A = this chain, B = another copy of it.
């Protein structure tokens, strides 16, 4: 931790800061600069109490951490890429994966038709929401357990592992019984109790980035999963909230190379939430592949205009098929399979 003192403070005020640093378990080290005096506080910032409260002292100008706050998710801790195994499907390996399916599971016909189509087009994991977090209480909240049952039926029929959202601690056992990947949605990205509960099931966890999460906070949320004993974590970028209104969110594709650099966990891109517009999905997918993402999570619906949720961002079965064909040269250019 670096503590910067204000200019022109007394020796006594200085000594008080040094004493406090020692009291909190750090070893202070002073550097007198031209305009400012700086104190390096030596000690492990993760285990000692933090010094950040020194900022409240009148003689202190700023306090800056030097150490990264995340550990288990960091590439320092684990230099090689982690591969998450999902019923035999490897996410994070050489093979590029595509998770696809409807935003919400609506009925058997809709799900089976979609599952068939995405499988035929090359998707390797089936997505589908059974519990839906909705901005308004008056919107469709998902089929619940009935939706989970339909998903497992589709899994059996098409041999596709399934990913579905977990949005309540009360549902952990239920959802974990059916799903192959537990998806934590953007609104729950810092619902730490839910993260811990999900982690403890041992199932792979896909952690979406919160709408206004800095990358450091996202990595720290991931740290909750790994520090709960579950190494099977995937990060999923789905757009952040900015002032731009043309798109529903701003897909921060820079998070692909950044997560690759900072962490060993796979990075998945969700272009559907990321743009909120089906007509932008194909371009987003190409960008994600080119930048090094490990997988895509795409919303596909037989008839988006009739979807019970988020129709505007779901692509049709036909559009999905041609999207998959269009992606192929980019997957090769990115040296993936």
Please give the residue numbers on chain A whose beta carbons come within 8 Å of chain B beta carbons, in ascending order: 2, 4, 7, 20, 29, 31-36, 38, 40, 42-44, 46-47, 49-50, 52-57, 62, 64, 66-67, 69-71, 76, 133-139, 167-170, 187-188, 190-194, 210-212, 214-217, 220-221, 223-224, 227, 240-247, 250-254, 256-258, 261, 274-275, 277-280, 283-284, 286-292, 304-308, 311-312, 314, 329-330, 332-334
Contacts and interface: CB of A to CB of B under 8 A. Distances in A.
Contacts of A29: 31
Given A2-B2, A214-B245, A258-B280, 13 more contacts: A31-B40, A40-B40, A47-B138, A64-B64, A133-B190, A134-B192, A167-B192, A169-B193, A212-B241, A242-B252, A257-B284, A289-B290, A329-B333
Nearest to A319: B56
Nearest to A5: B66
A223 B169 CA distance: 21
Contacts of A46: 136, 138
A223 B139 CA distance: 12
Contact of A35 (B38, B67, B221, B292): B67
B56 A278 contact: yes
Contact of A291 (B168, B193, B284, B329): B284
Contacts of A288: 287
Nearest to A312: B55
Contacts of A274: 254
Nearest to A289: B290
